[in-house]
Amino acid sequence: MSKNNRYIGSLPKIGIRPTIDGRRNGVRESLEEQTMNLAKAVAIFLEETLRHPNGSKVECVISDTTIGGVAEAAATSEKFKREGVGVSLTVTPSWCYGSETIDMDSFIPKAIWGFNGTERPGAVYLAAALAGHNQKGLPAFGIYGKEVQDAGNNNIPEDVKEKILRFVRSGLAVANMKEKSYLSMGSVSMGIAGSIVDTSFFQEYLGMRCEFVDMSEFIRRINENIYDTVEFERALNWVRANCKEGKDYNPFEKQKSKEQKDKEWDFVVKMTLIARDLMVGNPILNHLGFGEEALGHNAIAGGFQGQRQWTDHFPNGDFMEAILCSSFDWNGIRQPYLLATENDSLNAVSMLFGHLLTGAAQVFSDVRTYWSPDAVKRITGYELDGLAKHGIIHLINSGSSALDGTGEQSVNGKPAMKPWWEINEQEAQMCIDNTSWGAAINEYFRGGGFSSCFKTKGGMPITLSRVNLVKGLGPVMQIAEGYTVALPEKVHQELNERTNPSWPTTWFAPILTGEGNFKDVYSVMSNWGANHGAFTYGHIGADLITLASMLRIPVSMHNVDVDKIYRPGAWSAFGMDAEGADYRACATYGPLYK
């Protein structure tokens, strides 16, 4: 199980800045040990708790000295640049000189933990330093514990831990995206807005570049054998042993022969190898004499257009997308790739956010149909109950639905989609065994291919999200936390057969608040801003909100508990309505990298 960094560039580190009262001859000296120990305690906590999406443990860098003024702040900044720090966390138990000790790097997410103690006013420094950040236009997150602690107590309170983790997870996501690529394989699919790749959005908000490759590159590489032929044979044998064909829903007279289907399996496996190589490169190609192709595009996410110029003639990309997005393949358990169907770059971004925050695979779906309790009862005679009693949303798509979405992994005996490094071989095999591969429906895909088909287990907490672009406004994010639902098999079949039954299905029940976009399930569906959404395991809406605020992307729709919402301290100065303040703050500060 490899935890190597597949992308060019070192993994970002967490910088810990212990600030201190700079007055000598008694004051500073009395605080040195306590302040540095506080920084060390935070570093140990983070290194023991967090991992990067590739499975590597995070690494913290502590400044060489405590920071009592501008000279030591500058020295720390220089060290952080050398060490590759991508997230900055200041800690202190005492008063310090506000604007003289703050982190002035405008591109690195930053937070300050001002120790809540009565002996020394760390919380007073927190307020002063945040005021300095706000006045200078450098938004920072404030961390202030609810309970008073005694001097010298370096235990981190639970509420402080929660904020530190939320900040650091999101900050590392920002840092991990920076200077990576989005790889567009093809162009615009069927007029889908998300596949009109907006290079300015990626550059200014995410710090990423966009790379573009025509789909004809797949044909060139297939025809000229520009792939690892040894791996191809291993992959094809794995597919034959593990990927069982499902029901062919095409009319009998239009069904293809076994010989034709075998050729299509051969083709789509090659497509999978080629897409991966295009994204991250492959040193084997260099040994085969293809030095340029061996380099890849350093793509942390990508999309494949497919429809229609490709799929009207060649096998579709469904197998390629589903397998690459999963946490396992013929090489074993490994970090998922993030490849959006129909080149929906904005849904790819939603998948990217979810993966960077969790380390788990993501599921790309059409937000297809709202089923009211009355409609379900009319069609099937069944009365929805439990989590589904207010109605459900049908999430289904032929493409980038990771096989992890079967829910065949488990946490505490319940269905889950785990960080890839926590998945065991049995769980991976169960995901594979509970997926079938039906022949592509010719009406959609004239060139053939195979689409994954599974039914997601019920009871999983998931978060559905989507980034949309709005003219004159810019990017906005939508978030809906909820649960997967298990329907009786007969009910599932009756509803599923009314659409395309050869694709993966997830029945989704969002958590309702009784007002606004979450008044009822219909309102969630009606206010969703695009035809696609991506879901991740767990209720991570609060982390997504924190991440969005770092990038200056306002959140237009969410059902996250207000007590969990965590944004930079400056946001409270933009008005008393939290979501309106979010819009105003994002507009004022503008894209992170502009």
Residue positions annotated with a catalytic role: 342, 366
Task: Report H helices in 244-360.
Answer: 258-280, 283-287, 318-325, 345-358
Give the separation between CA 226 and CA 267, rounded to whole angstroms. 13
Name the pairing type of β-strands 181-185 and 209-213.
Answer: parallel
516's torsion region: left (phi>0), alpha (psi -120 to 50) or beta? left
In order of 84, 162, 374, the CA distances from 156 in angstroms are 26, 10, 50
Give the separation between CA 189 and CA 215, rounded to whole angstroms. 12
- Cis before 17? omega within 30: no
Name the pairing type of β-strands 414-416 and 409-411.
Answer: antiparallel
Name the pairing type of β-strands 450-453 and 436-439.
Answer: antiparallel
537: enclosing H helix or E strand = strand 532-537
Closest CA to 166 of 586, 585, 567, 589: 567
Closest CA to 89 of 117, 55, 47: 47
Give the separation between CA 179 and CA 210, rounded to whole angstroms. 10
Tokens 């991740």 correspond to: 536
